């Protein structure tokens, strides 16, 4: 008996006290032109000083030793990057890593992101059982990859016949799991939101087949429980104006805003008519009241111009055309931007697995070349505004003292040509370094399920 008691006491013994981590020497990224992501003018000849994963100072190169003091300066690791350009780590604000999750391929995608300069992604609904694991691994630097902020999805019951929801809820019933819930007027909304929050999700994604009144009730409860709300710009039958008035923090897909000008908003997601191009033959003035409403609510637009391009590129001779043209998506994003709406760089589709860079670079280029952004504005969209979409703009998204040391160094000036953003030299995430020259590309074996799926 005594032996059993002794064994039991060992099982429930107090855990060992964690050792205080040993402070690492400061790191100095020296000789760079800093483009800080706020929209401020570029600053040449600077040193970025990082300590314990955060930016300690940004000073002229000749002053970093003075800033640190002789004792710390003597221990500093100095990385000479003279001639390079520093921008905040990039953020793709619309990815889908785990719709039908293949852990091997997800890990490979995350590796490509981080070595390309992407330090954060916003996952817009998938299997949170998988997403939670990868989010933890990348946060703790146990795996190469960006930080992952993800959503739990809510939609009307009829939506959950969609094969994507079936794939993301394998082993359970789509619409009845905490990360994909069917919502009606009879749903216990506080409980549904609490269940979603329990998955580790940062936000709810309000997707489809819900009226505006229900969107508003869910959004209010989510905010009460400390969650963000992301959604489609129209949830059918809810119009874009109704989703904005519901208080959603971020709405996705520029082309869905066009339904505000339709004679009648489609009643449900899977049976929606294409956008009526004729409504915009003479410009986008029909959307001006919606843009004013978005601005008054501080609604961020996740424009996703790239996904429309991808859909048109993939349309076969026997397939129906996508519901909106790339050109109209870009015009709407341009008009929204000129109206003062903040726009992030979400993609909603990635480049093929064997391409060297992910699609966020294409989205950034589309903002400049098709939507009228300056390179400086596009960089801000891909950094500071991206951080706002996940509620972390006080923590990262710009190169400022006290923020996390999430930095992309490129060899050519992206302000003279936005395509120069593709010239990655080094990605830094919390002071961990990912040299582009050491990037191991995605292999055919890692992508085999992706290839087979096509």
pLDDT tens-digit map of 66-94:
999 999 999 999 999 999 999 999 999 99
**Could you report the per-residue pLDDT of 392-402, keeping only the tens digit for each?**
999 999 999 99
Report the pLDDT value the prediction gives residue 438, as an integer from 0 to 100: 98
pLDDT < 50 positions in the chain: 1-17
Report the pLDDT value the prediction gives residue 76, as an integer from 0 to 100: 96
Distance, CA of 179 to CA of 32 (rounded, Å): 43
**Could you report the per-residue pLDDT of 181-209, keeping only the tens digit for each?**
999 999 999 999 999 999 999 999 999 99
Q: Strand 180-182 relative to strand 250-252: parallel, antiparallel, unpaired?
A: unpaired
Report the pLDDT value the prediction gives residue 167, as an integer from 0 to 100: 96
Strand partners, 408: 87, 427
Cβ atoms of residues 351 and 306 within 8 Å:
no
Task: Look up residue 95 and give its two tokens.
Answer: 């990815």
Look at the alpha carbons of 433, 438, 439, 445 in this order and tell me if their dihedral is positive or negative: negative
**Could you report the per-residue pLDDT of 312-331, keeping only the tens digit for each?**
887 766 666 788 999 999 99
DSSP of 203-243, one letter per residue? EEEE-SS--HHHHHHHHHHHHHTT-EEEEES--SSS-HHHH
* CA 28 vs CA 55, 86, 414, 430: distances in Å: 10, 13, 22, 13
Q: Which domains does the chain have, with CATH numbers?
A: 27-83 (no CATH), 89-396 (3.20.20.140)
Query: Residue 339, exposed/middle/buried by CB under 10 A (0-12, 13-18, 19+)?
Result: middle
Cβ atoms of residues 23 and 366 within 8 Å:
no
Report the pLDDT value the prediction gives residue 313, as an integer from 0 to 100: 83
Report the pLDDT value the prediction gives residue 142, as an integer from 0 to 100: 97
Report the pLDDT value the prediction gives residue 316, as an integer from 0 to 100: 64
Look at residues 249, 161, 258, 257 and name the one whose alpha carbon lies nearest to residue 205: 249
* CA 170 vs CA 20, 108, 295, 426: distances in Å: 42, 22, 39, 38
Cβ atoms of residues 113 and 145 within 8 Å:
yes
Q: How many CA atoms lie within 13 A of 198 on its CB side?
A: 9
pLDDT over 90 percentage in the chain: 89
Go through 236-274 and write b for each residue having 16 or more CB atoms within 10 A of its CB, e for each that does not. Answer: bbbbbbbbbbbbbbbbbbbbbbbbbbbeebbeebeebee
């Amino acid at each position: 008996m005594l032996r059993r008691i002794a064994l039991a006491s060992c099982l429930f013994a107090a855990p060992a006290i964690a050792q205080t981590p040993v402070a690492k020497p400061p790191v100095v990224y020296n000789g760079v032109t800093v483009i800080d992501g706020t929209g401020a003018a570029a600053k040449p000849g600077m040193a970025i000083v990082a300590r314990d994963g955060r930016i300690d100072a940004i000073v002229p190169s000749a002053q970093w030793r003075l800033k640190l003091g002789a004792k710390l300066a003597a221990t500093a690791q100095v990385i000479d990057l003279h001639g390079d350009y520093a921008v905040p780590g990039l953020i793709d604000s619309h990815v889908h890593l785990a719709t039908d999750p293949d852990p091997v391929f997800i890990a490979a995608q995350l590796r490509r992101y981080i070595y390309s300069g992407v330090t954060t992604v916003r996952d817009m609904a998938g299997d949170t059982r998988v997403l939670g694991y990868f989010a933890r691994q990348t946060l703790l630097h146990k795996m190469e990859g960006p930080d992952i902020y993800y959503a739990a999805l809510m939609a009307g019951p009829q939506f959950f016949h969609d094969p994507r929801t079936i794939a993301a809820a394998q082993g359970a019933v789509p619409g009845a799991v905490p990360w994909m819930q069917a919502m009606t007027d009879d749903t216990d909304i506080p409980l549904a939101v609490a269940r979603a929050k329990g998955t580790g999700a940062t936000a709810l994604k309000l997707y489809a087949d819900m009226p505006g009144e229900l969107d508003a009730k869910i959004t209010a409860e989510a905010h009460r429980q400390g969650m963000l709300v992301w959604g489609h710009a129209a949830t059918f039958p809810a119009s874009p104006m109704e989703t904005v008035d519901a208080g959603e923090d971020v709405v996705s897909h520029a082309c869905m805003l066009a339904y505000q000008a339709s004679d009648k908003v489609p009643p449900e997601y899977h049976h929606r008519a294409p956008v009526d191009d004729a409504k915009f033959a003479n410009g986008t003035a029909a959307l001006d009241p919606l843009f004013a409403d978005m601005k008054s609510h501080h609604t961020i637009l996740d424009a996703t111009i790239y996904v429309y391009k991808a859909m048109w590129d993939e349309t076969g001779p026997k397939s129906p055309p996508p519901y909106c043209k790339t050109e109209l998506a870009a015009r709407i994003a341009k008009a929204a931007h000129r109206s003062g709406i903040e726009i992030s760089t979400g993609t909603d589709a990635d480049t093929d697995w064997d391409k060297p860079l992910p699609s966020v670079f294409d989205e950034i280029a589309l903002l400049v070349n098709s939507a009228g952004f300056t390179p400086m504005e596009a960089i801000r969209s891909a950094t500071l505004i991206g951080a706002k979409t996940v509620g972390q703009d006080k923590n990262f998204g710009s190169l400022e003292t006290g923020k996390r040391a999430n930095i992309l160094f490129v060899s050519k000036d992206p302000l003279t040509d936005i395509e120069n953003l593709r010239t990655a030299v080094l990605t830094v995430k919390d002071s961990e370094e990912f040299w582009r020259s050491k990037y191991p590309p995605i292999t055919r074996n890692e992508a085999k399920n992706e290839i087979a799926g096509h």
